[in-house]
Amino acid sequence: MKVSRQGNSQPAPDARANQKGRTRAALVAAASDLLRRGVTPTVAEAAEEAKVSRATAYRYFPTQEALLIEVAELSPAVAPVEAALAALPPGDVEARLLHLLDAFNPILFANQAPMRNALRVYLDTWFENRRAGEDASPIREGRRTRWLDEALEPARRGMPRRHWRRLQAALSLTLGSEALIVMKDVCRLDDDEAMAVLRWAAITLLRAGLEEARQAPATRPGARPR
């Protein structure tokens, strides 16, 4: 009988989290379809279109503003990043990572107001769910982790999962509105300086993560991962 390497084994998927992600995606897709038909959707209308209960829909998007920011502002803004991922250079993971940063971060810095507004809505949604005693719904699509999975696929395939998850989490700090706020508001860098720092940080983290994974002892078949 073939025994899989436990160090690289994938944990059982979180069915509840996956269902939450599918529900959120269904609401976004329904709202997008309504917009294409000339309707500015309310949360209730998106819920009806997606065949999701209103109570459930309001846990993901407590206000129409929250829904429209995702559908009408964020999704169109990042469409070029999705196209860039489809044209990633083969092989060199550093080049692929920089290709991702150079596709997204200029969009991020050029659209600071809507990106900051989206972050405000995410935080408002979190607090709204907390006040209602609800479990945290996936208020964000999680684009960064998906993008990093795709960009660094050549390295990710041979890396123990625990190493990849740590590297992915660290690299997520070099993308997104939180990175923008730290660079601009805390460090007070101009846009070009900020994007250069984020590129440097991403490559430094990538090299450190790859080196750590290379030096990690191989896990014996049948052994428990640490």
Residue boundaries of the structural domains of the chain? 19-71, 78-216
- For 19-71, give the CATH class: mainly alpha
| pTM summary value | 0.74
Is residue 1 classed as helix, strand or coil in its secondary structure?
coil
Residues near 92 by Cβ (< 8 Å), separated by ≥ 6? Answer: none
**Which among 42-46, 105-109, 197-201 has the top mean pLDDT?**
197-201
Place of tokens 């502002």: 73
Q: Please report, as a single letter, which amino acid is at residue 64.
A: Q
Q: What is the pLDDT of residues 114-154, one digit of tens each?
A: 888 888 888 888 887 788 776 656 667 778 898 999 999 99
Determine the distance from the C-alpha atom of residue 153 to the mean position of all C-alpha atoms in its chain, rounded to a whole number.
Answer: 15
> Could you report the per-residue pLDDT of 13-31, keeping only the tens digit for each?
456 656 777 888 888 889 8
